[in-house]
Structure 1
């Protein structure tokens, strides 16, 4: 049995926009994307175009995404981050620049006392990313 934890993000109706953003930033692919309207069960009014389940992949970066039902708002928090473990300073600088373009820098890219090149950015969809080398 394969045992791993996979990040799963839930959005307030803008999951498709977030997926396109991640596709642009990470140059990855949306593997699957199903809407509530494609489901074989009744969905609330206004939910047909919302993402029920999607998967995103770029090399070892993999996560899943969905939208909440209308009226079931998601409260975005700061209790979880995605740590991007990258091979080169060039990759770190590239992703940092792309994420901060539309996001919010929480910690500037810098060399740290623990020996890593590190930064923190909150993307425009409320997800926190850290970069480390």
Structure 2
């Protein structure tokens, strides 16, 4: 079952600044805020202070923010996605499969990650980017490490 659909903002490696900006602009509460250096081992020095993920609550509405990192070019227009939070793996895979029909791109096959038992990114046939994330409180992968 879908738990939540939220906005996911991808910043040009200035995510920590964006967190403070949106916190002030919207009166948001910062739920989580983690840098690459805090979450991963063997991070290049220039990426340690990049934002891996932040979650903000704006009067009951949640937005996520992360930095682009150095892997992909930062392109305005592709820096906002919808993130569908699902409460079980079967539903996540089913939604991902349906969105993948005639997809323009599958940026990441749905797979286990350190934070989710099933996470994937697809650009659907209309050019909309969707992140599908199985959100199970307390989940930590024993199989996948950063």
Category of TM-score, reference length = shorter chain = 0.5 to 0.7
Q: In terms of Rg, which structure is larger? A: 1
**Distance apart, 1:24 and its partner CA:** 1.0
**Structure 2: tracts of 5 or more residues without a match:** 83-146
Provide the residue aligned with 1:28 in structure 2.
Answer: 28
1:30-49 correspondence to structure 2 within 5 Å: 30-49=30-49
Provide the residue aligned with 1:7 in structure 2.
Answer: 7
**Distance apart, 1:81 and its partner CA:** 9.1
Provide the residue aligned with 1:53 in structure 2.
Answer: 53
**Structure 1: tracts of 5 or more residues without a match:** 83-133
**Distance apart, 1:19 and its partner CA:** 1.2
Distance 1:45 1:78, change over 3 A: closer
1:115-130 correspondence to structure 2 within 5 Å: none
**Distance apart, 1:4 and its partner CA:** 2.6
SS of the counterpart of 1:5?
strand
Q: Distance in 2 between matches of 1:73 and 1:31?
A: 28
TM-score of the aligned structures, taking structure 1 as reference length: 0.52
Determine if contact 1:53/1:66 at 8 Å carries over to the other structure: yes
Count of aligned positions: 82
Q: CA RMSD in A?
A: 2.6
TM-score of the aligned structures, taking structure 2 as reference length: 0.48
